[in-house]
A and B are shown apart, each in its own frame.
Chain A
Amino acid sequence: MLEIEIDGQLVNAEPGEMVIAVTDREGISVPRFCYHKKLSISASCRMCLVDVEGAPKPQPACSTPVADGMKIHTQNDKAKASQKAVMEFLLINHPLDCPICDQGGECELQDVAVDYGSDVSRFSEGKRIIAPSDIGPLIQTDMTRCIHCTRCVRFGSEIAGIMEMGGTGRGEDLKIEPFLKEGITSELSGNMIDVCPVGALTSKPFRYELRSWQMNSINSIARHDLVGSNLYAQTYKGNVKRLASGDNDAVNETWISDRDRFSYEGLTHDNRLLAPQIKVAGQWKEVEWDVALDFAVKGLKNNILNSRNVQKLGGLASATATTEELHLLQKLLREMGCENLDYRLNIKDLDNAIHLQSNIKLADLEHIDQAIVIGSNIRLEQPMINHRLRKAQLAGAGITTLNVKEFDFNYKTNDIIVAPNEIANTLAGVLRVLVEKSAEEVPAYLLAVTPCAQAIDIASSLLNSDKTVLILGEHVVNNAQAASIANLITEIAKLSNSLTLNLTVTANALGAQRVNFVPNSTGMNVNEMLAAEMRAFVLLDVYPEYDFHHLDEALNTLLNNDVFVISLNGFKNDLVAQYSDVMLPMAAMYETSGTHVNINHEMQSFSAAVGAPGESKPAWKILKVLADLLELPGFHYENSTQVLSEVAHQMTPVHEYDTAINLDKSTVEVETIWTHSPYHTDALLRHATSLRASKIGQINTASINAATAKSLSLSDSDTYLGVPVDITETMADQCVFISSNQATNTGAL
């Protein structure tokens, strides 16, 4: 520990720390533009120049390491003169178009200029003008305002891991711009808006909407993935107008993915379900809430309760629901004696479902030495988790991927391409090597396994590394050996002392698990329900063509006239309208309070940032009233916090799962892996216009190699299951990998 003096005040500092880190900690204000605590030092804006005793020239606080006994003046004449000089230079070519600038009111240049600028400019020459350029649907550029701090450039190369912005030209002509004709494409690109200190890079969907001071800023949580990034919902007159990243080093540091940032646009989409509706004689009729709820209760009574066939009632929910909503729905069903409930709508065979722990914290991911990523395009599917892995890799960790296709990672990976039906066998080979190296006996199921070269490599990389993690991704959820793959991973983890990360579930699936939103042994799971003779369903935010794996069976069951369907939805959907008897409009993300359980197993609660539009109401309230009308006990909640506290006091029952490993290969000739492309994973995203227009939002490809394409008589101009074919050689044989922004065409699978 060193002692230094800043403005006459003695403070402690760590060796190697920069002066600005100390002043920030001590609350001493030093102006800056290029410095950003999460980016490399640039020292180029010169705004943070301070006077260091003994140094002939003023020194930038951002790049001056502390030394014991150093005496620093941040406010004396010399420091002020330099700071004011820099400010004057920054302003001469700045347009000062604050009245029409979206950054106005939250502009670092504006703020600092108030303290350090001069009223009158001495600059009477012509100002620099940069022609506008279009860098994509998410970020608006006004580069005439750019002060060349290069935060966006450094963000790209250091955090996004893809250098898209750069500084071309030199001197006064230095221009910050992308080179790619398609503009900025990174999945984290929106953070450039947050790091830009001026109005050069602003949110395109938010352009000219409002001034920052007109909005309320509410802490919230993104719910599109397992991270639960912390963010601010900025609202005006009941609408979310913008989302900006929040700080939480244990979760998202200070970044959010574009998916988290721009999804809010869906909230005001025309397709919102705004009023309760009941179906009378096959016709939809908008009604008051009490009418709709009475209708729902009557339906449940007629179809289920009066005839005491509660086993013919089912409850299905989307994993994007809040923990409170999931809790209330399961409670409602269980109070009626119904054990038929599920959120795993996308699983083909629940006897072959993946059960794998997630036991590594997000922040610890960046400290691992070796990761094995199985079945995931983790960069696009889990951007913030990928960000941590990237940090680990840059610090020297090895990242091996085991995928059916080579994906574009933003760090160095060792990619192993395997066919879907070879994944289990490859992992079995890894396990066999590990078992042999340990003192344990080789179990029977491994006796016939001969480890391939890659399996041997994976095993030795696990044994030779200290901190290792095995990551299982969503591409294997419906693998013919899904359960075995998960069980193999658990075994490998045991023997190699690895941690595991289960990314086969997403959104608030961990919340669903926490409230036990799965049937016990007496109930039916989703696929069993769809195959059974049912009389009623309560569906929580379900969009059948995107959510059900067995779409045909689902529609068969739900469209049956004898089945009474109560649907709670945030958005209108034709199929929902066809099979439902009551449609209850529910609040979407940011419109309700609730809790999301993230991959760290943290319960992150949030309040409603805005009210729900039209007649729609938070689902927890709808479910509570429904329970009251059904005269079910224990639903006397006044707010969602009371629901949460009930959850907190309940234990989640431990389910026993089959840990058997079966290495019998699938005999399907061509395996198809269907995934939703990254910006189409939930209803809100599917209605977010700008995201959909972005390059990632446009992803809609069926990847296939030439040999397999030939065997299926497909060419580049064809579609497969309605998805355009992309023939690529970095792809396993006998499989098709689909990343689609269309509805799941499961009928053909």
Chain B
Amino acid sequence: MNEVCFKNIDKDQCWSLTTYEASGGYSVWRKILKGEYTPEQIINELKTSGLRGRGGAGFPTGLKWSFMPRNAEGQKYIVCNSDEGEPGTCKDRDILRFNPHAVIEGMAIGSFVMDATVGYNYIRGEFIEPFDRFEGALKEAYETGLLGKNINGSEVSFDLYAHLGAGAYICGEETALLESIEGKKGQPRFKPPFPANVGLFGKPTTINNTESFASVPDIMAHGGQWFADLGVENSGGTKLFSVSGHVANPANFEVSMGMPFKDLLELAGGMRHGAKLKAVIPGGSSTPVLTAEVAMNMTMDYDGIDKAGSMLGAGSVIVMDDSTCMVEALTRLAHFYYDESCGQCTPCREGTGWLYRVLKRIMDGKGKAEDIDLLMGVQEKIMGNTICALGDAAAMPVESFLRNFRDEFEYYIEHGKSMVKG
């Protein structure tokens, strides 16, 4: 446990440059500055490591970096997505608070690979403490001569800045995030063109999640194979899981990929007050909810969770015990997507509000028998028809809650009250 991003978490002042360097931090970056790495080497190590995007999509990071036209003329950018906001997810906040230098070094390594001499870390607007930590780390890195132009007299230049959000979940979508850095509304762009070709300020841009960047220095220091071996096939390395909800000790845990869910639950102290597990959302609010039975037989890796019928997402495990009213839980999630829809494309703008209103009506005791089919129909019509993944993210919980806990919805509609709470 706690072998990569969280390896210094128990140390005093774990966020300081001294602590970071004492554990081998910036050794890779210093080698790069001395010309001891080629971009191809780094990409190969990353590919070997099996690191996949930790923001939720799980795209292989090495492959993503290889897509950047590093030899293209002109400015290129590297961007870190620290706009953490999916319900259940709170790992990047802790990485920024407790290991900001790993993010900086990871971004620096990426900047070298992709010849992107300028980087931005987009931190959600409410994360002031993490922002301050990151800014403090940036200051240390600049003062130590690890960032800037022609660093240590080398050919390598890298300037890194933090950008603050202002409260919009959608900016976690990478192209909305780029729009937001450009000082606009966070409305996702249609693709193609992809950011690797037309990104920030119209320039080639690579965007990775905080945890992905923070994993890179150790992957390079210890080798891709070392990282891959920490995990299981198709899911290399360790992963931060934010375990929240009805557990005794909710917290972020960095564990090996492939850990059985029940072991993770154990790490989190088991169910609170010894209650019975009812349901688990394994990867953040947008991933399909699973029943206790399915969850308890699941391993925490991409394939394991996929097999169970959901997604690893950002590793945000929301645990619900049998006191949970699933109608209420889904209504809360539906409200979230309704509130956070950017509004530009039709199915999401109109559909998320529709879903929420029907659910709210059911909660108000005014449900109709046909509402379940209506909800299923509406989510189906949003699914796959939107510019970005928020539409799917809004649809998937509806589908999975209704599929797995239909009886609770039927009961609520019929009796005008919760089956669980009465």
Contacts and interface: CB of A to CB of B under 8 A. Distances in A.
Direct contact of A and B (CB under 8 A): yes
A42 B190 CA distance: 8
Contacts of A45: 345-346
Contact of A169 (B340, B343, B345): B343
Contact of A148 (B168, B349, B380): B349
A174 interface: yes
Interface stretch (A83-91, A419-427, A622-630, A704-712): A83-91
Interface in A30-47: 41-47
Interface stretch (B52-60, B83-91, B228-236, B351-359): B351-359
A122 interface: yes
A41 B341 CA distance: 20
Given A46-B345, A57-B384, 16 more contacts: A44-B346, A46-B346, A46-B385, A49-B385, A58-B385, A65-B192, A82-B385, A85-B382, A89-B349, A89-B381, A90-B346, A122-B377, A150-B344, A170-B168, A170-B340, A172-B350
A167 B185 CA distance: 9
A44 B345 contact: yes
A657 interface: no
B1 interface: no
25 contacts: A43-B387, A44-B345, A46-B346, A49-B385, A57-B384, A82-B385, A85-B380, A85-B381, A86-B346, A86-B347, A88-B381, A89-B347, A89-B351, A90-B350, A125-B358, A125-B361, A147-B346, A148-B343, A150-B344, A169-B343, A170-B170, A171-B342, A172-B349, A172-B352, A174-B343
B354 A125 contact: yes
A49 B361 CA distance: 31
CB-CB nearest 10 A-B residue pairs: A174-B343, A85-B381, A171-B341, A89-B350, A43-B190, A125-B357, A57-B384, A172-B353, A171-B343, A44-B344
Contacts of A170: 168, 170, 185, 340-343
A60 interface: yes
Contacts of A167: 185, 343-344
B310 to A, nearest CB: 18
Given A58-B384, A171-B352, A85 B347 contact: yes
A179 interface: no
Nearest to A86: B346
A173 B63 CA distance: 39
B349 A174 contact: yes
Contacts of A56: 384
Contacts of A690: none
Nearest to A47: B346
Interface in A348-377: none
B361 A92 contact: no
A637 interface: no
Nearest to B341: A171
A445 interface: no
Contacts of B340: 170-171
Nearest to A90: B346
Contacts of B377: 122
Contacts of B349: 89, 148, 171-172, 174
Nearest to A170: B343
Interface in A162-215: 167, 169-174
B329 interface: no
Interface in A130-183: 147-148, 150, 167, 169-174
Contacts of A63: 190
A172 B185 CA distance: 15
A93 interface: yes
Contacts of A86: 346-347, 385
A173 B343 contact: yes
Interface string B382-418: 1011110000000000000000000000000000000
B131 interface: no
Contacts of A172: 338, 341, 343, 349-350, 352-353
Nearest to A89: B350
Contacts of A65: 192
Interface of B: 168, 170, 185, 190, 192, 338-347, 349-354, 357-358, 361, 374, 377, 380-382, 384-387
B390 to A, nearest CB: 10
Nearest to B391: A46
Contacts of A60: 190
Contacts of A93: 350
Most chain A CB within 10 A, of B192, B340, B353, B374, is at B353
A65 B192 CA distance: 8
B contacts with A: majority SS: helix
A488 to B, nearest CB: 41
Contacts of A122: 374, 377
Contacts of A57: 384-385
Contacts of A42: 190, 344
A174 B349 CA distance: 8
Most chain B CB within 10 A, of A44, A57, A88, A92, is at A44
A403 to B, nearest CB: 32
A43 B352 CA distance: 19
B281 to A, nearest CB: 22
A148 B346 CA distance: 8
A82 B345 CA distance: 13
Contacts of A82: 384-385
Contacts of A44: 190, 344-346, 387
Nearest to B352: A171
A482 B346 CA distance: 57
Nearest to B190: A43
A172 B345 CA distance: 10
Contacts of B381: 85, 88-89
Nearest to A166: B185
A395 to B, nearest CB: 15
Contacts of B352: 171-172
Contacts of B339: 171
B101 to A, nearest CB: 35
B94 to A, nearest CB: 28
Contacts of A174: 342-344, 349
A424 B307 CA distance: 82
B66 to A, nearest CB: 22
Given A49-B385, A82-B385, A125-B357, A171 B338 contact: yes
A92 to B, nearest CB: 6
A89 B346 contact: yes
Contacts of B357: 125
B204 to A, nearest CB: 18
Contacts of B384: 56-58, 82
A276 B308 CA distance: 91
Contacts of A125: 354, 357-358, 361
Contacts of B345: 43-46
A660 B61 CA distance: 73
A298 to B, nearest CB: 72
A181 B340 CA distance: 28
Contacts of A58: 384-385
A85 to B, nearest CB: 4
Nearest to B339: A171
Interface string A71-88: 000000000001001101
A90 B343 CA distance: 12
B250 to A, nearest CB: 30
Most chain A CB within 10 A, of B344, B346, B347, B374, is at B346
Contacts of B386: 46
Nearest to B361: A125
Nearest to A93: B350
Contact of A41 (B190, B347, B353): B190
Interface in A307-341: none
Contacts of B353: 171-172
B321 to A, nearest CB: 32
A43 B381 CA distance: 17
Contacts of A89: 346-347, 349-351, 354, 381
A125 B386 CA distance: 22
Interface in A87-105: 88-90, 92-93
